[in-house]
A and B are shown apart, each in its own frame.
Chain A
Amino acid sequence: MNLLGSEDPTTFAPVIAAFKTKNPDITVKYAQVPFDQLNPTLQQRLGAKDDTIDLYTVDQPRLSQLAAQGFLEDLSTLKEQTKAAVPDAQYSVNLYQDKLWALPVWNSTQLMFFNKKSLDAAGIAYPSIDPAQRMTWEQIAKDGKAAQAAGTQFGLLLEQVEAYYQLQPLAESLGGGSGITGDKMLTTDITNTGWEKAMQWYSDTFSSGLSPRGVGGFQTSPLFTSGKVAYFVGGPWDIGNFAKSDIDWGVAPMPYFAGGSQATPTGSWSWGINPASKNKAAAKKFLEFASLDPAGNLATTDATTIIPANTAATAHYLPKLEALGGAKTTGLANLIAHENTQTATPRPVSVGYIQFEELMGKAFADIRNGSPVDERLKQATQQINDAWKQL
Chain B
Amino acid sequence: MAPSQVFDRRKTPETTATGQVPTTRSRRRRASPSLIALAFLAPALISLIVLRIAPAAVALWESLFRQSLLQGGTVFVGLGNYGDLFGNADFTNALLVTLVFSLIVNPLQIGAAFLLAVLYTRKAAGAKIWRSLVVLPIAVPPAVSAVVWSVIYRPDGLGNSFLALLGLPAQPFLTSPQQSLASIMVLLSWIGIGYWMLFLIAGINDVPSELYEAASIDGASAWRKLWSVTFPLVRRPLAFVLVADTVSNFLIFAPVQILTKGGPSGSSNLLMYDIYTRAYTLGDLSKAQAEVIILVLLTLIIVALQFRLLRSSDAA
Residues of A near any B CB (own CB < 8 A): 40, 65, 68-70, 153, 212-216, 219, 351, 354-355, 358-359, 361-362, 365-366, 368-371, 376, 382-383, 386-387, 390-391
Contacts and interface: CB of A to CB of B under 8 A. Distances in A.
B265 interface: yes
Given A214-B174, A387-B282, A371 B69 contact: no
Given A213-B175, A371-B264, A383-B90, A354 B283 contact: yes
Contacts of A361: 261
Given A70-B72, A369-B172, 17 more contacts: A65-B69, A69-B69, A214-B155, A214-B175, A351-B69, A354-B281, A361-B261, A365-B264, A366-B264, A368-B175, A369-B175, A371-B264, A371-B265, A382-B89, A390-B69, A391-B69, A391-B70
B253 interface: no
A365 B263 contact: yes
Contacts of A351: 69-70
Interface string B176-191: 1100000000000000
Contact of B153 (A214, A355, A371): A214
Which 4 pairs show the lowest CB-CB distances between chains A and B?
A: A369-B264, A213-B175, A358-B281, A214-B175
Contacts of A213: 155, 172, 175
A362 B88 contact: no
Q: Which among B70, B89, B172, B280 has the highest number of chain A CB atoms within 10 Å?
A: B70
Contacts of A68: 69-70
Contacts of A387: 282, 284
Contacts, number: 78
Nearest to A362: B263
Contacts of A370: 175, 264
A247 B35 CA distance: 74
A376 B266 CA distance: 12
B235 interface: no
Contacts of B173: 214
B277 interface: yes
Interface string B112-149: 00000000000000000000000000000000000000
Interface residues of B, number: 35
Contacts of A65: 69
Interface string B275-294: 00100111110110000000
Given A213-B155, A351-B70, A390 B284 contact: yes
Interface string B71-100: 010000000000000001110000000000
Contacts of A40: 280
Contact of A386 (B88, B172, B261, B286): B88
Interface in B246-274: 261-265
A266 to B, nearest CB: 23
Contacts of B8: none
A366 B154 contact: no
A253 B258 CA distance: 31
B66 interface: yes
A365 B155 CA distance: 15
Contacts of B70: 68, 351, 391
26 contacts: A40-B280, A65-B69, A69-B72, A70-B72, A153-B156, A213-B172, A213-B175, A214-B153, A214-B154, A214-B155, A214-B173, A215-B154, A219-B150, A219-B151, A354-B281, A354-B282, A354-B283, A355-B281, A368-B175, A369-B172, A369-B264, A370-B264, A371-B265, A376-B265, A390-B68, A390-B287
Contacts of B66: 390
Contacts of A391: 68-70
A68 B151 CA distance: 42
B162 to A, nearest CB: 15
A69 B277 CA distance: 21
A72 to B, nearest CB: 14
A54 to B, nearest CB: 23
A216 B70 CA distance: 35
A387 B277 CA distance: 11
A352 B283 CA distance: 10
A390 B73 CA distance: 12
Nearest to A162: B261
A362 B262 contact: yes
A212 B155 contact: yes
